[in-house]
Structure 1
Amino acid sequence: MEQIKNDKLTVTVSKHGAELQSIKDANGKEYLWQADPKFWDRHSPILFPIVCGLWEDKYRVNGKEYKLGRHGFARDTDFKLIAQGDNQLVYCLNESTETLKDYPYHFNLAVSYKITENKIKVVWHVENTDNKEIYFQIGGHPAFNVPDLKQGEPLAGTLKFDEKEPSRLYGNVGGCITPGYHKVKTEDGLYKFTQNDFKDDAVIFDHSQLKKISILNKEGKPEVTLDIKTPAVGIWSPYGKDAHFVCIEPWYGIHDWAEYDGEFKDKYLMNKLLPGCSFMSEYTITIGE
């Protein structure tokens, strides 16, 4: 485990999956879900080279079939720590004999975490080190404690969206999405959720509808805010468990459409890179106001 800190935050990250493990403020208050296996045994996995599910866990490159489990392999793979400072950590992952069996591309994936004041900037950098065009999706899956809940209480919380009437997709057929948009009711941008909101899995927004999402405490003040640039975002907590966390997931990619049997490169929200080219994006986690 590696740690960076300043006078406002202490952030811990693991080489395994380059995954955030802890976000604490100066008083020692924990904001990141602590991976209780009774509910969900992860903190903040990196999703690569796919986001969410493939139809029947299969995809095709030039007609050849491959298999990948939900969210890809990065979250279950050890990264290398390549840079460490007082306020920044940088990890990288390259293709290997194992990854090439399931994902036939050469790549370099770098993930960095930098703290400034009460903010954590998470940066993804994907480089094409292959001699052909590569295709990929990438996303985050950070899980945050829902404030003001006591042990044994049902899940209940409030999110603040920067869009008052967003429309969602449903991802409830074989772990894949179905056509059709459905308005999500908010109270002037305030989205009050319980576990029943996740009966059909994640609440999914595409078309860059949301760029800022806050988790509010009972006083209506933001405990955690995500500023995102991604074309899609998922909101999730495990249905039926009343787990005291909610995930806010920025995605450059999304599930397959149900029964999709096309080429990998033609998937909805696919990213591509020519040889020698790179992709970079970021999102920011703000603790408090």
Structure 2
Amino acid sequence: MEQIKNDKLVLTVSEHGAELQSIKDENGKEYLWDGDEKYWNRHSPILFPLVCGLWKDTYRCEGHTYHLSRHGFARDTDFQLIAKGADRVTFALTESEETLKVYPYHFNLAVTYRLDGNKIHVVWHVENTDVRPIYFQIGGHPAFLVPGAKKGEHLQGRLRFDNPAPQRLYGNTGGCITNGHFPVKTDNGVWAFTEESFNDDAVIFDKSQLHHVEILGNDDKPVVTLDFKTPAVGIWSPAGKHAPFVCVEPWYGIHDWAEYDGEFKDKYLMNKLLPGASFMSEYTITIK
């Protein structure tokens, strides 16, 4: 485990999955889910080289067929610590014999966490170290404690979106999305959710509908905010488990369409890098 801090926040990050484990303020208050396996045994996994699911966990690439489980392998792989300062830390992952069995590309993935006052910058950097174009998706999956919620009790919470009339996709057909957008009812951008809101799995917004989400306290003031430029975002909590957290997930990628049988490179919201090129983006968590 690695820890970085400033006068506002203390972060703990694991080399396994380069996964954020804890966000505490100067008073020791925790904001990130604790990973209790009774409910969900993760905190904030990195999704790479796949976001969400493939149809039948299968994809096709250059005449070969591969099998890759939901959200890819990065979250279950040990990264290497490559840089650390008082207020930032960077981990990296490159291809291995094991990754090449399920993902045939050479790459370098770096994940940086940087503190700036009460803000956390989560930076992704993907570099193509192959001799051909590579294709990938990447996303975040941070789980935040819902103010007032407790383990074992029915979940209720409120989020504020920067779009008062967003429309969702459904991704519950074999773990893949289906055509059609459906309105999500808000009160001038404030969405009151319960665990039943996730009976159809994550609530998914594509087409760059959202770029700012606030987790609201009981007084409807923001406790945590997320800012991102991703084309898609998922909102999720495990339905029926009485878990006291909600995930706000910025995604450069999304599920397969149900029954998709095309090439990996042609998936919806796929990213392409030419040899020697790199991709960099970030999302920001603000603790209020």
Letter matched to residue 159 of structure 1 = L
1:11-56 CA distance string (max 9 Å, x none) = 0000000000000001101000000000000000000000000000
Distance 1:255 1:151, change over 3 A: closer
**Superposed displacement of residue 148, structure 1:** 1.2
Q: Which whole-Å CA distance do the structure 2 matches of 1:196 and 1:203 have between them?
A: 11
Asked if residue 135 in structure 1 is aligned to residue 135 in structure 2, the reply is yes
Letter matched to residue 168 of structure 1 = R
Aligned match of 2:261: 261
SS of the counterpart of 1:105?
Answer: coil
Q: Return 5+ residue gaps in structure 1 as ranges.
A: none
Asked if structure 1 preserves the Cα contact closer than 8 Å seen for 2:159 and 2:214, the reply is: yes
Asked if residue 154 in structure 1 is aligned to residue 154 in structure 2, the reply is yes
Aligned match of 1:220: 220
Count residues with an aligned counterpart.
Answer: 288
Any residues of structure 2 matched to 1:52-71 within 5 Å, and which?
52-71=52-71
**Superposed displacement of residue 242, structure 1:** 1.5
1:82-124 CA distance string (max 9 Å, x none) = 0000000000000001100100000000000000110000000
Asked if residue 34 in structure 1 is aligned to residue 34 in structure 2, the reply is yes
Distance 1:222 1:133, change over 3 A: same
Asked if residue 102 in structure 1 is aligned to residue 102 in structure 2, the reply is yes
Distance 1:150 1:77, change over 3 A: closer
TM-score w.r.t. the length of structure 2 is: 0.99
SS of the counterpart of 1:186?
Answer: coil
**Superposed displacement of residue 151, structure 1:** 4.7
SS of the counterpart of 1:197?
Answer: helix
Aligned match of 2:87: 87
Letter matched to residue 100 of structure 2 = L
Aligned match of 1:276: 276
Letter matched to residue 249 of structure 2 = E
Distance 1:100 1:150, change over 3 A: closer
Letter matched to residue 113 of structure 1 = Y
Aligned match of 1:194: 194
**Superposed displacement of residue 63, structure 1:** 2.4
Aligned match of 2:76: 76
Aligned match of 1:113: 113
Asked if structure 2 preserves the Cα contact closer than 8 Å seen for 1:63 and 1:263, the reply is: no
Q: Return 5+ residue gaps in structure 2 as ranges.
A: none
**Superposed displacement of residue 149, structure 1:** 2.1
Distance 1:150 1:72, change over 3 A: closer
**Superposed displacement of residue 68, structure 1:** 0.3
Asked if structure 2 preserves the Cα contact closer than 8 Å seen for 1:83 and 1:89, the reply is: yes
SS of the counterpart of 1:132?
Answer: coil
Asked if structure 1 preserves the Cα contact closer than 8 Å seen for 2:152 and 2:243, the reply is: no
